[in-house]
Amino acid sequence: MTQRGPVHGALTRSPAAELQRLPGLPGRLTSTAASLPAMDLDRPVPPDPYALLPKVGMFAVTSASLVDGEAMPDHHVFDDWGFSGANVSPELM
């Protein structure tokens, strides 16, 4: 259906009518998913990026300031972005 638009007498059409005028589209458009071809969602599994890195030796980190498994003391917490610690780095050995 064609009708006069409000601006300078421009012609306006429904979106479906405009799509039918585009080259390469079929003459009849449907809105059901059943008419679309099935999409293949199988994707290859990407390689593990860490498996490609060279092996490195192990090391241990100890600290008199921090205890494994416990919360970090406020003395070492960052002092900005809503946190209110002293922003002091813990001693690491």
Q: For residue range 17-43, list pLDDT tens digits in order.
A: 666 666 665 555 555 556 677 778 888
Q: Residue 90: how many CB atoms within 10 A of its CB?
A: 12
Strand duo 3-4 + 11-12: pairing: antiparallel
Please state, in angstroms and rounded to a whole number, the distance separating the CA atoms of residues 61 and 87.
Answer: 20
Domain limits for position 87? 59-93
SS3 of 93, please? coil
Cβ contact 1:12 at 8 Å: no
26 within domain boundaries: no
pTM of the predicted model over 0.85: no
Segment of 1-10, 29-38, 47-56, 83-92 carrying the highest mean pLDDT: 47-56
92 within domain boundaries: yes
Place of tokens 């600290």: 63
Q: How many domains does the chain have?
A: 1
19 within domain boundaries: no
Q: Which helix (H) or strand (E) holds 11?
A: strand 11-12
Confidence of residue 53 (pLDDT cuts 50, 70, 90): very high
2 within domain boundaries: no
